[in-house]
Structure 1
Amino acid sequence: MFALRSTARRGWSLRGCAQLRSVSTLDGNPHIYIFPSDGPSGSHILSLLPTEPVNSKLAIGVTSKLPITTDSVRENPKFLDILQDVFSKHAHEDPDAQSQAQVMVSTAGANLYSGGVLQANRRKSKRRADASDSSGGASGQGGVGSAGRGGWIHISDGRRPPDYGRIAWPEDIFGSLEVDADGQFVGGDGNYQPSGTYRLVTRDGILSISPFLREKLVQRLKELEKE
């Protein structure tokens, strides 16, 4: 499902001469590095950091085979906790989320790259779906026609952007931010709420974060790596 690719990374020998070493990354996702695991033969560690030796406590997880599949990856719960902590602090700063919040309260409809929006009244949060599509329509999420009401927007994985006017699948949603009637994040940070439904690997791919949030996450992982 997910092939490998190799990239060259420059290192230094004891004599100070430049050398090139090959670092494997996932094809289509060059931000995820692959390292051999000390576990069962053929298993590999997946990480957002290129550091060797790899810190398994900060890794995305371990896959029992390559290419990876939906059932080959064992997620690292600590990594997901770190991800959610970073998102709680920085998701409202993401340009994609800010754009989505502005579009939500306008008459233009929903910006769907970050996963669409929820309806303004959370007590009416049941999504409408037809038999052929389980993703909600704009009328059930505060998208088109939600001008001046505010509500909640989703921060979602980019591996499967939803169709216009619909929200992402639950397995692709990291969490949600609250937006007021002026398109501003409530409390300044949007009161980020983890979804509890996110899956690291689906049939559509593995973790795919916006450039802004990926940078913040990698920065935090590097800080933890030094501790």
Structure 2
Amino acid sequence: MLCLLRPTILRATPRLVRPFTSTSWLSQSMPETPLPSSKDPSHPHLFYHPNSTYVSLSFLPHPPAVYGSRTVLGYLPLGDATLDDFREEPKFRKVLNDAVKSGLEQGKATTVQFEAETRPVDGWIHITDERAIPPAGRIGETEDLIGSVYVQGGKIVADTYSPLPTYRLVTTNGVMQLPEGLDKHVIEVLEGIDKEERKQAAADLM
């Protein structure tokens, strides 16, 4: 019987993740019969999608349509795993940054907007991952700072958004949790990408 990933294991290790690299457990073939997906009870949006050798981490409830899907945050080997085993899906990072910027442009980032409106002077503010919210008046750890955006006259200047290269999708505090409003917007973007990938996968089979 296969031992599936225990969700709580993602918060139990003191080590940081390594960048995605080619590993033996990352097969490019998708299973004919996918194993059951599961929701992480400690995260508002995270799902685990296992196949015969590894687990895909995603904010969508169903398995990805293709290997290397842009909707997947990254991968863990099937069975007992720690944060050090996480491998980021390279394509996801661009999707995330583009979605955050479009969310700012469309006014979807409600908590970020509130911070901008209450800021007494113009300047840069950080968009911080909510898995580790710093005390009031403090700046979060660099691994938790998603990006920065300029505020002028209490309004977000969306085209100034700049993602920070030090941001990590997974840390000792868990998997990324976007600020309210941005989280739902990113999921909507991922749903759109998933539809495109499924349509293309179906066309490739014809």
| TM-score w.r.t. length of structure 1 | 0.64
Q: Distance in 1 between matches of 2:119 and 2:154?
A: 7
Q: Distance in 1 between matches of 2:95 and 2:173?
A: 23
Alignment size in residue pairs: 162
Tell me the equivalent position of 1:100: 115
Q: Would the aligned equivalents of 2:49 and 2:62 in 1 still touch at CA under 8 Å? A: no
Deviation at 1:68, TM superposition (A): 4.9
Instruction: Please give the secondary structure, in 2, of the residue aligned with 1:46.
Output: strand
Instruction: Please give the secondary structure, in 2, of the residue aligned with 1:191.
Output: strand
Q: Distance in 2 between matches of 1:30 and 1:99?
A: 22
Deviations 1:192-223 (A, max 9, x none): 11111100111111111123112111111111
Greater C-alpha Rg: 1
Which of residues 91, 97, 102 in structure 2 aligns to 1:84?
A: 97
Tell me the equivalent position of 2:8: 3
Which runs of 5 or more residues in structure 2 are unaligned? 1-5, 10-34, 197-206
Deviation at 1:67, TM superposition (A): 6.1
Q: Distance in 1 between matches of 2:87 and 2:36?
A: 25
Deviation at 1:98, TM superposition (A): 0.9
Tell me the equivalent position of 1:185: 156
Tell me the equivalent position of 1:29: 43
Percent of aligned pairs with the same amino acid:
32
Q: How does 1:60-139 map to 2 (within 5 A)?
A: 60-64=73-77, 68-91=81-104, 93=107, 94-105=109-120
CA-atom RMSD in angstroms: 2.3
Q: Distance in 2 between matches of 1:100 and 1:85?
A: 21
Tell me the equivalent position of 1:142: none
**Are 2:167 and 1:198 aligned?**
yes
1:88–1:66 CA distance, 2 compared to 1 (3 A): farther
Which runs of 5 or more residues in structure 1 are unaligned? 5-20, 106-148
Give the structure with the higher percent helix: 2
Deviation at 1:71, TM superposition (A): 0.6
| TM-score w.r.t. length of structure 2 | 0.70
Q: Would the aligned equivalents of 1:25 and 1:33 in 2 still touch at CA under 8 Å? A: yes
Tell me the equivalent position of 2:139: 167
